[in-house]
Every structure is written in structure tokens, then in C-alpha cells.
Amino acid sequence: MKFKTLLWSIMTVLVFSVAAVGCSDDDDVKPAPTPDPDPSGKTPVLTLSGSTLEVAAEGGEASMAFTVENPVEGVTPKASCGSGWLQNINAELNGDKGRVVFTATKNEGEAREATVTLRYQGTESVNFTVKQVAAGTEPEPEPEPEPEQPGEGPKVEISATYDEGQKVLLVDMICTTKNADKALFAVVPASAIDESISLEEFMESPQSFAKTLSDEKLAALNGDGIKSEPAVAWEPDMDGVQVVAIILAKNASGKTAARADAQLGNGGAQPPIPGEGPQVTFKGYIGDYEVLFEAKSSTKNVASGEIIVMLKEEFDGILAGANNDFNAVADQMAGQGQALEAAWCEQINGDTGMEFYLQCADPTIILSAMLVVYDADHHRTVAYAVADKEKTPSESSDTGNIEIDFTGEASSNTYLLTVFCTTKNCTDGWLAWRFTDALNEMVAKGSLESAMDELKTMSNNSQKFEDFWVRNANNPHKGLKMSLEARPGEKMSFLVELSNRDGRKVARVDLVAEDPYQGKSEVKALDDKKFSDLVWDYNANPSKFTFKGNRPCVLDFGAPAWCGWCQELEPVMVQLSAEFKDQVDFYTIDTDYHKGAYQCFKSLFGTDGIPVLAVVDRNGNCKVVGGYLPADKLRLQIKIALNAKTSRTVTAMPVQDQPRNYVSLSSFNPVKNMMDRCLF
């Protein structure tokens, strides 16, 4: 009995010893950590770039690329193979792109194959086959495609004539080789043609504002031609202007352009008589981010005219070239400004005169303007003004009733308030703020005025106006603009009080700060080739940034896979790309994968580190605005780019629903103005 007990004890020890040895092997293989669920709810997708990979008989290192869509942080891919002739197998992943790297040993015998398995937790495993040719043979190279034989580039002809009866510029155009795939058309003032570049280069530059011919017109161009096509209708401000009509045709084999010169109108059936036109006074003023020109006629007989605004230094050069003869300059630049509308002429003839207002992003720029006016008999007067001094608002009364125009807007992080004292007679002011629900309770107990009085005693909820705040509030062209920090989603109410010796007025605005934008992104990711095609061909022009786009753009060079500031910038780019999607292109370049564009940009602009944020304005000028910028500051840079000054003139547009007697001037290009009137 004792022997049996001893035997069972020995067997039990052996069984548990074997079991313990078996468990030690399992302990060496630890299960992969379970990743946190993807907050977006998207599952990973593992994709190989191919199913077969051939290697030479000599062997060596080889790799197969793969991608992981929706990768999960903390999860790494694994690769394995049961064939001993594939060694050192490893899977590498950087962001969503990776590769399987291995070494094939030299083949001494027949051709052979091996299967490599790639795994990524949460996805189906994928396989690819590695084929190695037999010893002494090499895989047959794929035949190189035969180069296509170049075809014939298009050839075009164009002529332009002014039809006095129809008062329109007519053009005839034809592609004699009948092989144009695309055609661009433009009509520009002759002064806009840059003789230092070819017509082809000019037409493909943003400065041409060329229009693409429709499929219907392209077919006609390739057929019997476009004949007696109305291009630009004559208007009084264009009379006598020398213009150039240009057609550019392209196909895969080449491109060519042709031009035709013409004159719109006859320069006026009644030539202007200098010095006998209306009597006008014309003055210019500059302030913070604004320029103001005032015009008034003492003879009250202005019937037509135009205003031309430009850089003062540019006008000085034009004037010097004309021997300081303003009438000669008026002849030279006729039609390149903004025509005065009939309502504007009436205001110039009125008792208060006419005011032209221009937002200017750069207060250091000095602008000048030339006003050319005619009476009903076409007698002309030329007036000139420089905006180089601050306008002092006229002294206002410190008595009488007060009227307030109080408005506001909110983003996710900023409240922007604007105050106008429309009666221009306030001498003091206060701003107060409170959460909307709390202010409603205060008002319910009394009135807006009593709530304002209570808030004025709370230093954290009110601010007394500085003296220059009062002056701005009384200025009908400037107004008082104030900004306060906001928090996404909060509801805030603001009270403003303006007062003088006779009393006060309180106004209220309720605002809700926006939630951070989470909508559709309009940001486009570029590789080096797309950057070269759409933005700047840095290989062809490494020492000069030559913009290839046709509207402003924002460039973001970064590495969002690991750069914290780059990740912070992403939602800002997304939000503003949606906000400006019809005006500005937004591009991002991942410097981890596309280094060529960034290295050349870095070398030219002297930048270092990432992210690098740059804005290209509508004239093709590129400006590095920093690394990370919050939405409000990047929005300001974008607006500056959209309002970038072009040479010569600006356009004037009447202000809608605006009680003050002025029109707002925005950036204007004489070439674009001509193309906006194009009848194509």
C-alpha cells in the first residue's frame, strides 16, 4: 500500500512538472494589448500594394508596401513566413503607410515561392507571394512603352473690330489646325500687357483673368471659326480705351496664342475741353485701416466721370512721365477707373458732397486718387487728392438726443462689437456684459438702464470708454470696434451706453459663441508633384516663387503624425477652408512624405521648423505668416490677401442699407474689370 501511494505521488509530481514546462512557453508570447476604441467609430482596413513580388536569384533585401486606413494608436503590424529562405521579416508603419521588409537568400536551385502573411489587430490578415527565379536566370524586364509620337500643336488666328452701330467689340477667331483641346480668351487694356513675357505666359497667369471657352465655342473655334462674336460692350468710361483681344489654344502637343488690337469707341464724339468743366473740391484722408476721399461740386453740374485710386508712388511716376500734366494723365488712363454712377453724381452735386471709403489692410501704404468729372457738354475737370493725414471729425454738439447703431458677431473664441453714434453727439460711453440668463433677470427687476447702472459698479463686467473710443463712436466712417474673448457655446449679452449733457441711450446685443467647427473640410493634401502643378514649379523656378494658381491660397507645411502644433492647426484649416471655400484654396503638405516642395520653400523663404503657414495673395505674392495661428488671426491674414492692392485702381460699390452718405471702395483690377464685362 505504501508503494502504491509513493508511486502515485511521483507520477503526480511529473505531471505537474510537465504542465509547468508547457506553460513557460506560453508565457513568452504575450497577447497584443487591446487598443482603445477609435473615437470616430471607424475600423482599420489593411491593404497591400500588390499580391506578388518577384526577387532575383541573387537574393537581397526587398519590400512590399501596404496601408492601414483608420490606424489605431498602440497597435503595430506583424509579418511572418514559414519558408526559411526569407529572413529578417519585419513590418514597419508610419502613420497610415507602411512596408514589409525582408531578405531573400541566394537561390542555388529551381524557382521557388513563399507566402508572407501580414496581420493587424482588428482586421483580416492578408497574404502576398514572393517568387524567386531559378539560379542563373533573371526575371524578364517589362517592355518599356513606346514613346508617343508628338502631334501638331494648335495654331490660332484672331481679329477684332469696334462696331460703331452696335457699340460693341467684335472678334473673329479660328483654330486653323482644328485640334485645340482647350482655349482661353481675354480682353485687356493695352497698358496691362507685359512685353517682358510671352502671350502664352500672360494668359496662363492670374493677372489675365482669362476665361475658358465653353465646349460649344471650342467646337466652333475648331470648325469654321467664331465670327463677329460680341466680346465687350462699349460703356462711357471705356470710350477711346486701347484694348487687346487674346486667344490661347492648347492640346497635348503644344499651345499658341494670338492677339488683336482695337480701340473701343472713338475717344468721345465731343473731345473733352480741359479747364471748363465742373468746379469740384477733392480731399483725401487716412486712418486706421481705412482711406477716405471726399468730393463736392460748387457748380452742381457733374454729369459723369470716374475715380481712379492707386499707390501714390505709382501715380507720381505716371505724372512725371506726362510732364506733370494732369490732363495728359487723364487721357492716358481713361477708362481704367470706376465710373461714377448717376446717384453718385447727384450726391457730389448735393450740399453734403460724396464720400468714397476704402478699407486698407496696411496703414503704412499711402494712396492717391484722381477724380475726372464731366458736365453735360462733356467739359472736363481733373482733381487730385492724397490720403496722407488723419481726418478729424467735425466738432459735434454735446447736447440733444442720442441714437445708437449697435451690432455684434461671435466666433468660437471672440465677440466682435461695433458701435456707431449716428447722431455724432456722444461725450461719454460704457460697455457692460453679462451671461444672457443673468442679464434677463436683472432687466426683469427694472430696465436696461437700471441693469446698466448695476453692471457699471462691477469692474469685471464693465468698461468705461477711453477718449478715442468716443471719437471713433462719433465717426460715421470708422465706428468703434471692440473684441472680447469668448468660450465656445456660451450665451453672452452686451449693453452699450452713450451719453451727453442732455441724457443717455442704452442699447443691447445678445450673442452666442459658436461651437468649434466640425463640418466638411475643403483642405486638399498635396504631394510634391501636385504642389508643383498647382502652386509653384520649384524645379523650374527654384530661386523665385512663381504662383500658378488663379486665386489666393493658404499653405500648411507640417507633420501631423507627430507634431503637436501641426495637429492644433488642422481644425483651424478645416474651419476656414469651409468659410472661404469659394474664394481661397487651402493646401496641406505632409513633410514626412513630401520633402521636395518644403525643402525648396524653406531655402527660398528662410523658414525653419514646422508647421510653416503661408498665405499667397490674389497677386501671387507669398507671405509666411507664422507657424500655428488661431482662427481669428489666420482669418485676418486671409482677408488681407483677398484685399491685396493691385496696381492702378479700385472699384466702388454702393453700401446696401447704409444711412451714411458714402460708398465703399474695394480692390479693383482694370484687367479683371474688363473681363467682368466680357460677353463670352
Beta strands per DSSP E along 568-642: 585-590, 612-616, 622-626
- pLDDT at res. 330: 86
Residues 396 and 430: beta-carbon distance below 8 Å: no
Is the N-terminal amide bond of 488 cis, ω within 30° of 0? Answer: no
Q: Which three cell numbers stand for residue 241?
A: 480705351
Name residue 585's beta-bridge partners: 553
Sheet holding 622-626, edge to edge: 523-525, 585-590, 553-558, 612-616, 622-626
Query: Residue 237 phi/psi, 5° resolution?
Result: -75, -5
Read off the pLDDT of residues 121-174 as tens digits, 9 standing for 90 and up.
888 889 999 998 888 765 555 555 555 445 788 999 999 988 877 778 899 999
Q: What is the CA radius of gyration of the chain?
A: 36
- pLDDT at res. 18: 36
State the pairing for strand pair 553-558/585-590: parallel
Mean pLDDT of 55-77: 86
Listed ranges 66-75, 246-255, 630-639; the one with the highest mean pLDDT = 246-255
- pLDDT at res. 138: 58
| Residue 543 burial class via C-beta count within 10 angstroms: exposed 0-12, middle 13-18, buried 19 and up | exposed
Read off the pLDDT of residues 432-450 as tens digits, 9 standing for 90 and up.
999 999 999 999 999 999 9
Mean pLDDT of 579-589: 93
Residues 653 and 663: beta-carbon distance below 8 Å: yes
Distance of CA 308 to the CA centre of its chain: 27
The secondary structure of 380-395, three-state, reads: EEEEEEEECCCCCCCC
CA–CA distance, 396 with 428 (Å, rounded to integer): 13
Q: Does the structure show a pLDDT above 90 at 338?
A: no
- pLDDT at res. 151: 72
CA–CA distance, 276 with 265 (Å, rounded to integer): 23
Q: Does the structure show a pLDDT above 70 at 535?
A: yes
- pLDDT at res. 144: 57
Confidence of residue 477 (pLDDT cuts 50, 70, 90): low
| Sign of the C-alpha dihedral computed for residues 49, 50, 55 and 60 taken in this order | positive
- pLDDT at res. 1: 44
Residues 535 and 525: beta-carbon distance below 8 Å: no
Distance of CA 242 to the CA centre of its chain: 33
- pLDDT at res. 247: 95
CA–CA distance, 31 with 18 (Å, rounded to integer): 23
| Sign of the C-alpha dihedral computed for residues 211, 214, 219 and 225 taken in this order | negative
CA–CA distance, 331 with 319 (Å, rounded to integer): 12
CA–CA distance, 458 with 424 (Å, rounded to integer): 28
- pLDDT at res. 519: 73
Read off the pLDDT of residues 266-306 as tens digits, 9 standing for 90 and up.
654 444 555 567 899 998 877 655 677 889 998 999 998 88
Q: Does the structure show a pLDDT above 70 at 511?
A: yes
Q: Which of 193-197, 441-445, 563-567 has the lowest mean pLDDT?
A: 193-197
Query: Where is pLDDT greater, at 412 or 190?
Result: 190
Read off the pLDDT of residues 593-627 as tens digits, 9 standing for 90 and up.
898 999 999 888 888 788 999 999 988 899 998 88
Confidence of residue 504 (pLDDT cuts 50, 70, 90): very high
Q: Does the structure show a pLDDT above 70 at 22?
A: no
